[in-house]
Amino acid sequence: MPPKSAAQTGILGGNVANPHLSGVRRGGANQPLRPRQSYGAPTTPHRIMAPPGPPKPAPSLANHLLNRDPEAVNSATQQSFLSHAGCGTISAHALTQWLAQDAHVSRAFVSFVGRLIGKMRLPDTAITMENTTFRTFDLLISTLNNVRREMSFFDTTASKWGLHIEAEIPKPATKGFIDLLSSASSSSASLLEGLVLLWTTEHVSSSPRSCKRAFQD
């Protein structure tokens, strides 16, 4: 085998261009030469992203219920009786009648909350304070304590003002509310339905109203 020339040795070593490939270009002979891009260099400019907007508020069941029928909410909460009771200007007759009727509601409320507690299944967890089910359980227990305190308030108020509370049957509005409590805690109702009614009675019924508006009625 004849010895390789200096030109051949330079071609094989990469020091001399191969004359047979001097006119060849990628993409065809008519394509212009393009500068080679380094590895990883971006081929297009970065797009400037707009800053994120403010986070959307979480859905609120409370706001949904309050805004569903504002007129009904105002009609149920803006009563002169509530304002006169809060301002201490209610008559003895009206207070006596209210205490007699609300006693029926308080006893029905105890049964209502008791049935809601009966629907609960407490999970086996190490940290009960952070568990939603246990927090709901604590809420219902607190509700029962408040109802019992309200019953004591009835006795104290009647004694303080010398009121004689006679037992009387529930009036239509009272009976309707008692039936609502029974329906929302029945076996066919979910725990969530009962909790929504509990929120309604505690949140909506405690909406404040000024004494000035009471005297204008």
Q: Does residue 101 lie within any of the structural domains?
A: yes
CB 34 within 8 A of CB 25: no
Supply the range of the domain harboring residue 200.
Answer: 73-216
In a domain, 198, yes or no: yes
> Does a structural domain hold residue 83?
yes
Overall number of domains in the chain: 1
d(CA 38, CA 46) in angstroms, rounded, equals: 17
**Residue 178: both structure tokens together:** 């008692």
Cα–chain-centroid distance for residue 189?
A: 20
Question: Residue 21 falls within a domain, yes or no?
Answer: no
Spans of the chain, pLDDT less than 70: 1-47, 204-217
pLDDT for position 215 = 31
The answer to the question of residue 102 being in a domain is yes
Note whether residue 65 is domain-resident: no
Residue type, 130: E
Tokens encoding 23: 């006119």
- Domain for residue 137, yes or no? yes
In this predicted structure, what is the pLDDT of residue 165? Answer: 86
The pLDDT value recorded for residue 4 is 54
The reply to whether 185 falls in a domain is yes
**Coil, strand or helix: which one is 7?**
helix
What's the pLDDT at 55? 78
- Of 85, 86, 66, 91, which Cα lies nearest the Cα of 76? 66
**For residue 205, which of 61, 78, 64, 68 has the smallest C-alpha distance?**
78
